[in-house]
Amino acid sequence: MRKSRVLLAGVAVAAAAAATSAFTAANTFEPGVDQAVAGYGEASVSGANITAIHYNKDSSDQSLVESVVWETDTDLTGLNPATGATMTLKKAGLFVDDYTCAITGTALAGIVTCNVGDKTFFDFDAVGLAVGGE
């Protein structure tokens, strides 16, 4: 009787280990999945080459950020100019806010402008830009 309980416990542990391994498998992506212009990074974007970032102050309240302007040499002309980019602000690694950004310019000199207006420079310590979509 005692041996059967030990054996049964051993089978239960082995079954649990087998079931757990099924949930820890890695995700895979098929060859050819388009990764052309999409990405997120804090102060650097993996999907677009950012060449400059400008933080513009509000003209009436210098403590507020009016806009953040990103310059890129990546061709963003195929993206929706009104909704093709989103900026995320974070403070101490925590989400603060998202802003939809406007895309202007040419294939050689793209500009992404994100209007803020409601945050001070002390409200965030990291800024990220996601580009992509239609």
In a domain, residue 56? The reply is yes
pTM of the model: 0.63
The number of domains in the chain is 1
Query: Does residue 34 form part of some domain?
Result: no
Does 44 reside within a domain?
no
pLDDT at 112: 92
Q: What is d(CA 82, CA 103) in angstroms, rounded to the nearest whole number?
A: 7
In a domain, 63, yes or no: yes
The helix (H) or strand (E) run that includes residue 115 is strand 110-120
How far is residue 45's CA from residue 39's CA, in Å, rounded to a whole number?
A: 6
Asked if the structure places residue 10 within a domain, the reply is: no
Q: Is the pLDDT of residue 64 over 60?
A: yes
Residue-level pLDDT at 132: 79
Domain assignment present for 67: yes
Q: Is residue 96 part of a domain?
A: yes
CA angle 66, 52, 108 (to 5 degrees): 110
What gap in Å lies between CA 93 and CA 28, rounded to an integer? 27
CA distance 5 to 134: 61
The angle at the Cα of 116, spanning 52 to 130, to the nearest 5 degrees, equals 55
Distance CA 46, CA 107 (A): 17
> Is 69 a residue whose pLDDT tops 90?
yes
More confident call, 6 vs 64: 64
Domain that holds residue 119: 50-131
Residue 39 lies in a domain: no
Q: pLDDT over 90 for what percent of the chain? A: 31
15-27 average pLDDT score: 44
Q: What is the pLDDT of residue 11?
A: 40
